[in-house]
Amino acid sequence: MPVICDKYDLYFTHVPKAGGSFVERFLRQQMDGRRVGPRHATYRWCPSERPVTYRVFVVREPVSWYKSYWAYARAATKPSAWPIWEAGDKRHPTHRLDLTGGAPTFERFVRKVLREFPNGYVRAMYCDFLNGSTHALRTERLYDDFEWLLGAVGFENPGVIRKWPRANETPTQFSEQAVLPIELEDELREVDNLEGLLFPFVPSEPPG
């Protein structure tokens, strides 16, 4: 769910399965963040009430995202119950994927994804989150990027974020099953890549 921190001029939109629960929890508990709009709404669907300097989301490498999302969905439902958001809000970023992608094995899931979304589902989802955003964090270096953001918005103790545990992590039971033949994983990487997308990633160094 989007979170706005009025004191810090910060608006966060929550990409599912990219580390957003960790960010959202910190913003709400430590920075007086308040939830706004529908769950996982993008900035396009839920613009801020006033101009905001820092409009932020988190980017995860696509193949890793698929593995995490499939494991999450398998842990949350019985195979016969997929799609898990069938009756949900069409603005939810995984709505179309859930309508077409349910499968009891990760390989079958990926084959359906490649058939139904030949231009890359995750790539398209990120394009929607890019619309209106000013900064992007990376799941793979979330502590570093989030600490930079906290310093940039004027949070008094950015380093405290490193003491916070991650939240809503993928269940190990199913993440271990999220494996592919190497040729299929290569095909997925080729189709669903982030080449050419100009993400506004935060700098690698702390703000000066």
**Which tens digit of pLDDT belongs to each residue from 58-109?**
999 999 999 998 888 887 765 544 555 555 567 778 878 887 767 888 999 9
- Residue 50 DSSP one-character state: S
Helices first, then strands: H and E counts in the chain: 8, 5
Calculate mean pLDDT across residues 133-143.
95
**Predicted confidence band of residue 175 (pLDDT cuts 50, 70, 90):** confident
Query: Which residues does 146 contact at the CB level (< 8 Å), separation at least 6?
Result: 23, 26, 137, 161
Calculate mean pLDDT across residues 7-12.
96
111, with CB counted inside 10 A (0-12, 13-18, 19+), is: middle
What does the pLDDT read at residue 84?
Answer: 53
Calculate mean pLDDT across residues 10-36.
93
What does the pLDDT read at residue 83?
Answer: 52
Nearest to 66 by CA among 125, 7, 144: 125
Q: How many CB atoms lie within 10 A of CB 80?
A: 7
What does the pLDDT read at residue 81?
Answer: 47
Nearest to 27 by CA among 139, 152, 155, 206: 155
Phi first, then psi, for residue 55 (nearest 5°) are: -115, 110
CA-derived radius of gyration, the chain: 17
- Domain range summary for the chain, segments of one domain joined by +: 3-191
Q: Rounded to whole angstroms, how far apart are CA atoms 28 and 61?
A: 26
What does the pLDDT read at residue 61?
Answer: 95
Mean per-residue pLDDT of the chain: 87
Q: How many residues does the chain have?
A: 208
Q: Rounded to whole angstroms, how far apart are CA atoms 125 and 78?
A: 25
Indicate if the pLDDT at residue 168 is higher than 80: no
Min mean pLDDT across 27-36, 71-80, 105-114, 156-165 is at 71-80
What does the pLDDT read at residue 190?
Answer: 94
Question: Do the Cβ atoms of 147 and 159 come closer than 8 Å?
Answer: yes
Q: How many CB atoms lie within 10 A of CB 92?
A: 18
What does the pLDDT read at residue 43?
Answer: 87
Question: Do the Cβ atoms of 46 and 36 come closer than 8 Å?
Answer: yes
